[in-house]
Structure 1
Amino acid sequence: MIKKLVVLALLVSTQGMAQEWKSLFNGKDLTGWKQLGGKAVYKVEDGAIVGYTVNNTPNSFLVTQEEYGDFVFEVDVFLSDPMNSGIQFRSLSAPDYENGRVHGYQMEIDPSDRGWSGGIYDEGRRDWLTFPEINPQVKTAFKMGQWNKYRIEAVGSQIRTFINGVPVSYLIDDMTPKGFIALQVHSIYAEMKEGMKIKWKNIRINTKNPRLTPPDNTPVVNLLTNHLSDQEKYQGYRLLFNGKDLSGWRSVYSNDLPGKRWSVKDGLLSVSPSDGSETGNDIVTTGKYKAFELVFDFKLSEGANSGVKYFVDEKYDSGGKSGIGLEYQILDDEKHPDARLGAAGNRTLASLYDLIPSDKLTSRFFGKKTDWKTGRIIVFPDNRVQHWLNGFKVLEYKRNDNIFKVLVARSKYKDFEGFGTAAEGPILLQDHGDLVQFKNIKIRELK
């Protein structure tokens, strides 16, 4: 009897869940949809919506007539031609925004070698928000020439994407809480040509009982200020800066609280400008760290110089200047002369200062020099270290191996015995006499 009741309960539950889903496509025609943007061709063929590329037209969008806020959305996608596309969601089109240009979140469909399918792009606004680069094993989730299950979970400020059951992106952002869903046919560029096609079917949405998949190890891009999500907490992150004061920080070479050059206002940690020199007013964390992943957002003023240092060792005498440690360089490469010193660009933005230059790829993904940027330093238990900038790995090395020792011997640190090899050390924010701001400083310890 008990088993029968359990089975009955499961059936009722399953039927209830099934009723939560609403189909957005009847399999016959485009009822409930309208076209915006370009003039790509949309047809219904064999129970699927098919989009065809057309020459000399901008991005095209087949848009739902309804708008959606919190939801779980699913669609099957088939791509046999090497063309770019995407699924718009929480997107908008209004006459007062670039003459009605479609703008908003997009889940990428990308068959190219870079493998960015499932990344989140902000169409018509901020460009890329999440990249699969930090989670490379998901870059093969999309399969050319077969049907792929795309899933978007959007609940409040939290957005998750999945391809064929593989979690790809986790974005936390509150710019747009509601908007339409759209099927994109990209304008023709690069090796694309007219007549390429993409197909969508089994398009459905759940707005009555949308839930996020439980926390897992998918990397998070959190665009809220000094906010720690449940996903980040699950992964072991904690805030190093609370957005209110400098609790957990002290002056370098001292147990005193940071001086007046450091201030907190509107959730931002700022160091005030002076003469652009190393002032000896750096701040360090009260805690020390061994293996860790540190994430931080920073914003440079014109011509500014600063840095984030790790494995700082206060036994070294810096001569009244900055604390000594491995440094993630923060610099206006165009305006500050330090970018042209050192060797092979090893004093430019995101470099391991005076040791290893960063590979910043293309400027498109790093924005204007005064934009907010996201840095990431990962120190693995085996002493491998990575620097990341705006979602891209820009360098990797191993502490204390032979190559590292040679680099140190040729650097400004050659006289500091054992430089960069300490078992643990605090995190340091540098005062180099220029206005620099920080926020969203988070760390998790690795084992």
Structure 2
Amino acid sequence: MKKNSLLILVMTALLVSCSQGPKWQELFNGKDLQGWEKLNGTAEYKVEDNAIIGISQMNTPNTFLATTEKYDDFILEFEFKVDDGLNSGVQFRSNSLPDYRDGRVHGYQFEIDPSDRAWTGGIYDEARRGWLYPMNYNPEGMKAFKHSEWNSARIEAIGNSIRTWVNGVPCANILDDTTPSGFIALQVHSIGKAELEGKTVAWRNIRILTDELDKYKTADDENVMQINQVANTISDREAADGWKLLWDGKTTEGWRGAKRDDFPDLGWSIDNGMLKVHKSDGGESTNGGDIVTTRPYKNFMLKVDFKITEGANSGIKYFVDTNLNKGEGSAIGCEFQILDDQNHPDAKMGTNGNRTLGSLYDLIPAPQDKPFRKGFFNTAMVVVEGNHVEHWLNGVKIVEYDRNSDAWNKLVQTSKYKDWPNFGNAEEGLILLQDHGDEVWFQNVKIKELD
């Protein structure tokens, strides 16, 4: 009888344990701001009706209410409501360090955006790289936010995987290894218009789960685009979608000098997963020279992460034919311009800004308000489908055009390429990274060939 009673007690305990579900931790007690601290700005936070209210204020930088605890892997849920006209967000895996911009809060941010842009649920890298996942990557997710209502949010940050939801709708999906741990923080964004002062953003029911995350994480939705920010890697999703590394991050395999059969023995180096062009005299292909792929490409999506030093000039070329120019200067091809627009004189040359960053060099200008991350790696993407070509920068399309047309040929005749026969109309060509005598870094070079 005693054994049976003991067995029943053990089974009951197991059943109770199994029925408890996820062990959520409340980050906000609904009464006061215990466990939170204000950072950077002077905007007001108060507790009202079981919610934290942030109140916009003039003449203050972004203000953050941060947890005193730090978290690495977690599932975070909360509800939020925001007045139209404000921009806000929730920081996670974020930090405030004395040696980084005098304690400036920096790190991942779940975007709260009631504007017509509708990027709520996107992922922004506050005070560092800028947009990691703008919501134009996921048009369906842009519809999830509800104006003037309480919205539910979920963030799953597990290892390098970071995903977000708004009102149960999947929004952002990135892989990134920049910051593995940090605090959670609620943002009241700075404002520049007096009419926005006093507007509010509110949060409630803030809770976090740090145990048994694999058990409670959400199944992956393959309909939501995944952006892989981990350098020189191909994720399972990317591999299944046909992406391949064009540079392996370690060797020179698959590349050669544009005017030689092997890789240059000077002017380029591989350092900690980065392919570097060395600083020389600022001349075009006068040091190590350009490098090109060892095989041509026809229809493709090409991604290249690049980082420029002050005043630098370089480029990514495609449809390159190394037989066209055997003399001085760079090999000939269509060019995604890489340039420090603020400090290099080439930005003011050409026509209507068609030599600025992201432009189709000397042919079609990129917009001035393009999303450039100064001091950090930026992602250039070139998409070629037949005669249609697009330039993208950090997830935003900035240039598009069609080749092999009367309009295209007329445009070429007004450019520096007018003397090169059939410029830009080749069915296929090599891909090139340019040596223009300035220090520029490349990584995460990958390609997906299209049918």
Q: Normalising TM by the smaller chain, what interval?
A: 0.7 to 0.9
Kept in 1: contact 2:28–2:207 (CA 8 A):
no
DSSP 3-state at the match of 1:444? strand
Kept in 2: contact 1:42–1:49 (CA 8 A):
yes
DSSP 3-state at the match of 1:284? strand
DSSP 3-state at the match of 1:122? strand
The residue aligned with 2:341 is 333
1:352, CA displacement in angstroms?
0.7
Tell me if 1:204 matches 2:207.
yes
Q: Which amino acid aligns with 2:369?
A: L
Q: 1:141 aligns with which of 127, 141, 144?
A: 144
DSSP 3-state at the match of 2:332? coil
Give the alignment's Cα RMSD to 1 decimal. 3.3
Structure 2 CA distance for aligned equivalents of residues 445 and 163 of structure 1: 33
The alignment covers a number of residue pairs equal to 431
Q: 1:83 aligns with which of 83, 86, 89?
A: 86
Q: 1:316 aligns with which of 305, 324, 338?
A: 324
The residue aligned with 2:292 is 284
More moved, 109-118 vs 220-229: 220-229
Kindly tell me: are residues 257 and 229 of structure 1, through their superposed partners in 2, closer, same or farther at Cα, counting changes over 3 Å? same
Structure 1 CA distance for aligned equivalents of residues 33 and 75 of structure 2: 21
Structure 2 CA distance for aligned equivalents of residues 413 and 266 of structure 1: 37
More moved, 313-322 vs 288-297: 313-322
Structure 1 CA distance for aligned equivalents of residues 234 and 372 of structure 2: 24
Q: Which amino acid aligns with 1:383?
A: N
The residue aligned with 2:186 is 183
Q: Show structure 1 runs of 5+ residues with no match.
A: 1-11
1:335, CA displacement in angstroms?
4.5
Q: Which amino acid aligns with 1:279?
A: S
Structure 2 CA distance for aligned equivalents of residues 94 and 326 of structure 1: 43
The residue aligned with 1:423 is 427
- How does the TM-score come out when normalised to structure 1? 0.83
1:356, CA displacement in angstroms?
0.8
Structure 2 CA distance for aligned equivalents of residues 435 and 290 of structure 1: 29
Structure 2 CA distance for aligned equivalents of residues 359 and 125 of structure 1: 22
Q: 1:394 aligns with which of 398, 405, 410?
A: 398
Q: Show structure 2 runs of 5+ residues with no match.
A: 1-13
Q: Which amino acid aligns with 1:76?
A: E
Tell me if 1:34 matches 2:32.
no
Structure 1 CA distance for aligned equivalents of residues 433 and 103 of structure 2: 44
1:303, CA displacement in angstroms?
3.8
**What aligned pairs does 1:224-373 form with structure 2 within 5 A after superposition?**
224-252=230-258, 254-279=260-285, 281-361=289-369, 365-368=371-374, 371-373=375-377
Q: Which amino acid aligns with 2:278?
A: S
Kindly tell me: are residues 188 and 269 of structure 1, through their superposed partners in 2, closer, same or farther at Cα, counting changes over 3 Å? closer
Q: Which amino acid aligns with 1:289?
A: Y
Kept in 2: contact 1:313–1:323 (CA 8 A):
yes
Report the identity percentage: 49
Structure 1 CA distance for aligned equivalents of residues 243 and 20 of structure 2: 36
Kept in 1: contact 2:45–2:52 (CA 8 A):
no
After superposition, give the CA deviation of every residue in 1:378-436 in whole Å (9 maximum; x if it has no partner).
32425322212334322111222332221112222223332212222221112233333
Structure 1 CA distance for aligned equivalents of residues 355 and 19 of structure 2: 56
Kindly tell me: are residues 340 and 74 of structure 1, through their superposed partners in 2, closer, same or farther at Cα, counting changes over 3 Å? same
Structure 2 CA distance for aligned equivalents of residues 123 and 43 of structure 1: 25
DSSP 3-state at the match of 2:196? coil
Q: 2:448 aligns with which of 436, 440, 444?
A: 444
Q: 2:24 aligns with which of 19, 22, 25?
A: 22
DSSP 3-state at the match of 2:171? strand
DSSP 3-state at the match of 1:405? helix
Kindly tell me: are residues 111 and 410 of structure 1, through their superposed partners in 2, closer, same or farther at Cα, counting changes over 3 Å? same
- How does the TM-score come out when normalised to structure 2? 0.83
1:151, CA displacement in angstroms?
1.5
Structure 1 CA distance for aligned equivalents of residues 105 and 362 of structure 2: 45
Kept in 2: contact 1:385–1:397 (CA 8 A):
yes
